[in-house]
Amino acid sequence: MSVKKSKDNAETALLSVVQNLKQDGEIRLGQLEMLRQVDSIIHNGGCAVVKAGTGTGKSFAYLVPALLSGKKIVIATATKTLQDQLAKNDLPAVSDTLDLELSYAVLKGRSNYLCRKAFGEHIDERNPGAPKLFSYANKGFAVYEEISDWLAVTETGDLSELDIEVTADLAKEISVTVDECVGSRLCPKGDVCFAEKAKKRTEEATVIVVNLHLLCLDMVYGKILPNYDVLIVDEVHELEDVLTKTLGFTITSKRFRGAIAELQSALNEISKLRSSGDSRTKDFFSKMGYQETYLDALFATVSEELPESVAGIDDYLEMLSGRRILYGEPSKAETAFLAHLDIMADKVQFILDLLTKYLAHFSYLSSTKDREEEEEFLSEKPVQRSVNLTGKAPLPDKTIRAVQVVTKLLADMHHILAKDANFVIYAEREAGFLKLEGMPLDLSLFLDKGTFTNKPTVMTSATVDGAIVSRLGADGDLVSFTEVQSPFDYHSNSLLYIPSHLPDPRKKDMSTYRYSEIATLLKAFNGKALVLFTSKAAMEEAYEFCLRKVSTNLIMQGRHSRRFLIDKFTAERDTSLFATMSFWQGVDVPGESLSLVIIDKIPFPRPDDPLLMARRELAGEAGFVSIDLPKAANLLAQGVGRLIRSSTDKGVVAVLDPRLNTAKYKNYLISRLPAMPVTTDYKEVLSYLSTLALNDN
């Protein structure tokens, strides 16, 4: 088909889809422009970055040409909400209207699926009909029954389908991470494993929907996704942060203790197999020339020496806390820490070697080809999987699991010991716990130059900037940037208020002025406000202040679940919601309940964030412009974007930071926002408010 014909087809098809959803539905201009751009990239190759304002209808603008192309498509999104919307609404809407025969699959990380092996372990230890109670919240039997009933009917095993809330504790009992999974070839439930089935479905599907984390793992390590033809990344403004987290690592004393527990379980398992007379285990010990006392010595290392070493880890982290380490000339504390870690790594490596040899003997190492296939089939993150057990001997699954978990830990320890210059390593205390974090400095070093251009790629979001692909190392010649306008009438339906009388938020002891302005606005609007803060402390102070000054209902993040807060805020029109960073994005409340967005200050990243400090240093003089401003602009645009969610929405965004009116960079920040009229005069806000005819004003 010629490119022109394909484009015409796509436009006609989009019109059918839009009209099928809504009588008299029309294609929006921005949507049409985006569809043409996507269609061209699919047929001509390259990478299109499309900034598509709120309400563009971007999912149909990329789905229609992508599905019509007949190619295999991967769509990656940051949020579960959008994944669900694509899989449950948008994909069926397009394929039904256009009568396309296509199959689609949603792939999530392994721990999102019920692990039949882990769940089965709750049954095996009980008498028939009386399964072992889950430790979960003392509600074990009821929870067990609920899951059993669901298990009898679910086709996917996706834990999000369960009617009960899957807390972190429950998830630990019924699912496994990729490091904990023994692998489908070894697992007694491997042939009916939900995670494996989900992976299999992606091979047959025409469209695969994944989250950004899995996409990042595939981009860096491969073997997650099958071969595909076209990549579409939605909510792409999150990609750099997700990639940073995917490549990074965290070490805590708790993680060490967890690894020690895994090693203890493995040694216990081997010891039991040995004393039970298991012939291969006995063979192993005699072949290696290990005496009876050998295991005792290993137990002593794992039960005494390693825990002692781990006890010292927090002392070192305390000393190193609050700064980047292993950068430049090491301090005495850093040198001592490295020496301590080195000794631990040797001990861990020694035991790991023994366990790996044991598994190899027990099962015979598989051929390289088999091993690769196995990794391909199993892994979300390529830990060293060197085992492939065969035969009918009991499965030493605790040993397999220990090898996987400890191999990953050891790899992260070696990042530190090698003082890997591509990682920014820093110690800090978070929520009372000390941790050592390693994050990649320059993301482009970890990606192939052609990652986003070797196959047709579309990247889109309401707030993406054109430089994203060059920051990720792609060849700029093959990348186009298009901005398509939102269909919403921001000019008539919104007002951006930047009070000029407020002090610079960096000045000390001036917060009360901002809190007072919040209270004034809440009174004027009779609630109906989403109030966004850059810090928890500011949110709590402002909330306490406003409780004393405002008579309308106030709710605050942290006291209830996100779902509860948003439902209450949506349902009760005079309620105002105070929240921090996680509410700057993804809150979608059309209607009068959200008629006012208040932003306490421009959301610049923390100046002392060790990763950003290192990235600023790398960027030199351009640090502020290339690191801080784009981040602040993106988040500010996300926050402002909470106001207008439908063509009938109207309201005011108040940014209580005069720098948006005075700083050199003000035009850059404002240019990244929807085209709203701007005022610094509160009287104009009141006059605009009187035109809104809100129900209770």
Q: What is the DSSP string of 542-599?
A: HHHHHHHH--S-EEETTSS-HHHHHHHHHH-TT-EEEE-GGGSSS----STT--EEEE
User: 632: which strand partners?
Assistant: none
Binding flag, residue 486, ligand SF4 (CB under 6 A): no
**From the CB of 180, what's the least distance to ligand SF4, in Å?**
7
Which residues in 193-232 contact ligand SF4 (CB under 6 A)? 193, 195-196
C-beta closer to ligand SF4: residue 285 or 377 = 377
Min CB(67)–ligand SF4 separation in Å: 31
Tell me the closest approach of the beta carbon of residue 398 to ligand SF4, in angstroms: 12
Of 373 and 572, nearer to ligand SF4 (C-beta) is 373
Q: How far is the CB of 145 from ligand SF4 (least distance, A)?
A: 21
Pick between residue 117 and residue 601 the one whose CB is nearest to ligand SF4: 117
> Residue 115 or residue 354: which is nearer to ligand SF4 going by CB?
115
Q: How far is the CB of 120 from ligand SF4 (least distance, A)?
A: 8
> Nearest approach, Cβ of 117 to ligand SF4 (angstroms)?
4
> Within positions 17 to 76, which residues make up the interface with ligand SF4, using CB under 6 A?
none
User: Shortest approach of ligand SF4 to residue 112 CB, angstroms?
Assistant: 11
Q: Which two tokens stand for residue 207?
A: 């469209």
Q: Which is nearer to ligand SF4, 377 or 688 (CB)?
A: 377
Give me the least distance between CB of 132 and ligand SF4, in Å please: 17
* Distance of closest approach, residue 124 Cβ to ligand SF4, in angstroms: 14
Which lies closer to ligand SF4 via its Cβ, residue 378 or residue 655? 378
Indicate the SS3 state at residue 49.
strand
Task: Give the three-state DSSP class for 131.
Answer: coil
- The total of other beta-carbon atoms located within 10 Å of residue 313's CB is 22
Spatial distance between the Cα atoms of 453 and 68, rounded to a whole number of angstroms: 21
Tell me if 215 sits within 8 A of 233, measured CB to CB.
Answer: yes
Q: Which is nearer to ligand SF4, 117 or 672 (CB)?
A: 117
β-pair partners for 439: 424
Contacts of residue 615, defined as CB under 8 A and 6 or more positions apart, other chains included, come to 424, 441, 442, 623, 627
Closest distance between ligand SF4 and the C-beta of residue 197, in Å? 9
Q: Smallest Cα–Cα separation from 238: which of 83, 456, 35, 106? A: 83
Q: What is the C-alpha separation between 630 and 200, in angstroms, rounded? A: 39
Please compute, for residue 608, the number of CA atoms within 13 A of its CA located in the half-sphere on the CB side.
Answer: 5
Contacts of 548 (CB under 8 A, 6+ apart): none
Torsion, Cα 169 173 178 179, to 10 degrees, reads: 90
**What is the total count of residues that contact ligand SF4 (CB under 6 A)?**
15
How far apart, in whole angstroms, are the C-alpha atoms of residue 644 and residue 365? Answer: 60
Question: Shortest approach of ligand SF4 to residue 98 CB, angstroms?
Answer: 36
Which amino acid appears at position 37 of this protein?
Q
Instruction: Specify the residue, 124 or 329, whose C-beta has the smaller distance to ligand SF4.
Output: 124
Instruction: Write phi, then psi, for 19 (nearest 5 degrees).
Output: -75, -30
Q: Which is nearer to ligand SF4, 196 or 609 (CB)?
A: 196
The CA–CA distances, whole Å, from 154 to 47, 114, 160 equal: 38, 10, 11
Identify which of residues 200 and 666 has a Cβ nearer to ligand SF4 in the complex: 200
Distance of alpha carbon 535 from alpha carbon 580, whole angstroms: 6
Nearer to ligand SF4, 373 or 483 (CB): 373
**How far apart are CB 391 and ligand SF4 at their closest, in Å?**
18
> Between 379 and 493, whose beta carbon lies closer to ligand SF4?
379
- The CB-of-269 to ligand SF4 minimum distance in angstroms stands at 16
Give the three-state DSSP class for 142.
helix
CA dist 490 and 673 (Å) reads: 10
Instruction: List beta partners, residue 116.
Output: none
Binders of ligand SF4 among residues 101 to 160 (CB under 6 A) are: 110, 115-118
How far CA 457 is from CA of 48, 227, 451, 682, in Å, comes to 6, 14, 9, 45
CB neighbours of 116 closer than 8 A, spacing ≥ 6?
157, 189, 192, 193, 194
Classify residue 190 by its DSSP letter: G
Residue number, 399 or 451, with CB nearest to ligand SF4? 399
In whole angstroms, how close is the CB of 155 to ligand SF4 at the nearest point?
Answer: 15
Max Cα distance, the chain (Å): 90
The site string for ligand SF4 over 523-542 (x = CB under 6 A, - otherwise) reads: --------------------
Letters for 626-645 (x = contact with ligand SF4 by CB under 6 A, - = none) are: --------------------
Residue 189: CB minimum distance to ligand SF4, A:
4
> CB of 359: closest distance to ligand SF4 in angstroms?
16
For residue 112, the tally of other CB atoms under 10 A from its CB is 21
564 Cα distance to chain centroid: 22
Q: Residue 289 gets which letter from DSSP?
A: T
222 — phi, psi (to 5°)? 75, -175
Nearest residue (CB) to ligand SF4, 303 versus 384:
384
Which residue, 27 or 118, is less far from ligand SF4 as judged by CB?
Answer: 118
Nearer to ligand SF4, 41 or 359 (CB): 359
Cα torsion at 627, 629, 630, 634 (round to 10°)? 130
CA 498, chain centre distance (Å): 33
What is the number of helices (H) and of strands (E) in the chain? 29, 18
**x/- map, 157-196, ligand SF4, by CB under 6 A:** -------------------x----xx-x--x-xx--x-xx
Which spans of this chain sit near ligand SF4 (rule: CB under 6 A)?
A: 110, 115-118, 176, 181-182, 184, 187, 189-190, 193, 195-196
